[in-house]
Amino acid sequence: MLDYRLDKHELAELRAAHRAARDVREAYRINAVILLGKERASADVADALLIDPDTRHCS
């Protein structure tokens, strides 16, 4: 498993970027990174965002 842990500063920057995002797909991607950075399992993140856990990229 990859290590996605983020420190408080990185999480704060991502939250600000999420609030500023105008594109829904970008907001979802940032949200996924935030959840992974808070040590959520990738399968749980995929379930929360209603995406296939085997998705390699978004179109």
At residue 59, the pLDDT reads: 44
End-to-end CA distance of the chain: 24
At residue 1, the pLDDT reads: 54
Whole-model pTM: value is 0.77
What is the DSSP secondary structure assignment for residue 34, as one 8-state letter? H
Q: Tokens in use for 27?
A: 């907001």
User: For the purposes of burial, counting CB atoms within 10 Å of the CB of 32, is it exposed (0-12), middle (13-18) or buried (19 or more)?
Assistant: buried
| CA-atom Rg of the chain in angstroms | 11
At residue 45, the pLDDT reads: 87
∠ Cα 26 28 31 (to 5°): 110
Sequence spans of domains, the chain: 1-59
Per-residue pLDDT of the chain (59 residues), as tens digits, is 567 889 999 999 999 999 999 999 999 899 999 999 998 988 898 888 888 777 655 44
